[in-house]
Structure 1
Amino acid sequence: MKFVTFLVAVVAFAGHAVAQHSHGSMKGPNGGPMQDVAGVHAELLVSGKVLTINLLDEDNKPVSAKGFSGTLLVVSGGSRETVPLAVSGVSSLKGEAKNAVPAGANVSLVLKSVAGKSGQAKF
């Protein structure tokens, strides 16, 4: 019985991993790192304390952010902060950290689309 549970878990996670492929070092149209998540391209831009996720389609054209929601986890050294995102403009989600985000910080995105798709990406 344990083997069957393990096998089901492996297949479920493998399918999820294949569905979201990474662009690796691919840059978005605004110069930020970009990952596939929840059926869209997500480009991360950081300016001081402000974190922006631009939503793009496969042709790197803006996608409406209406109905999307998400959070970012910013980790730097021993510091961890969860930053909620809100729709800002037509195709962006924005959030503000308590302090400026240092270069080299690890940022993880959890995103949910208007269609109910959800996923995670690391920048």
Structure 2
Amino acid sequence: MRTILLAALAAVSISTGALAQSHGHSDQGAHGGRMQDVVGVHAELLVSERNLTVHLYDEAGKPVPSAGYTVSALVGAGQARQVVQLAPGSENTLTGTAPTAPARGAPVTLQVKNPAGRSGQARY
């Protein structure tokens, strides 16, 4: 019985460690948006009316300059899909405007390319 208990505790410890190592984010960022990891930064997405804003942070939560990043967003699904190009703004911010306001809760996929040329996707 003791061996089974120790094995179970070891399995829990290993799985908890694996979760702590995971870099996927479902938590909120400094501005109340959802966070996801993409190409080595944490990207916080905010959608307000037709405006999309992405804030970039490093692992320590410090702002990462947006200069040199290119971001496009695929907003919505099916016939309601829109592509929005985001441009670097001040400090760690990229912004773009959708042709029409997306439906509340519409899925958003960001395609991010960092200044070094690495690219990746984040889904919200």
Give 1 or 2 for the bigger CA radius of gyration: 2
| TM class by smaller structure | 0.7 to 0.9
Identity of aligned residues (%): 49
Match status 1:22 vs 2:24: yes
Q: Which runs of 5+ in 1 are unaligned?
A: 1-19
RMSD over equivalenced CA pairs, Å? 1.4
Match status 1:32 vs 2:24: no
- TM-score with structure 2 length normalisation? 0.78
Q: How does 1:62-77 map to 2 (within 5 A)?
A: 62-76=63-77
| Alignment: residue pair count | 103
Identify the structure with the greater strand proportion: 1
Q: Which runs of 5+ in 2 are unaligned?
A: 1-21
Match status 1:43 vs 2:44: yes
Q: What are the Cα deviations for residues 49-81 of structure 1, in whole angstroms up to 9, with x where unaligned?
A: 000010011111110001000100001563000
- For 2:110 and 2:78, locate their aligned partners in 1 and report how far apart those are by CA, in whole Å: 18
- TM-score with structure 1 length normalisation? 0.79
| 8 Å CA contact 2:110, 2:122 repeated in 1 | yes
| 8 Å CA contact 1:49, 1:99 repeated in 2 | yes
Displaced runs of 4 or more, over 6 A: none
Q: How does 1:46-65 map to 2 (within 5 A)?
A: 46-65=47-66
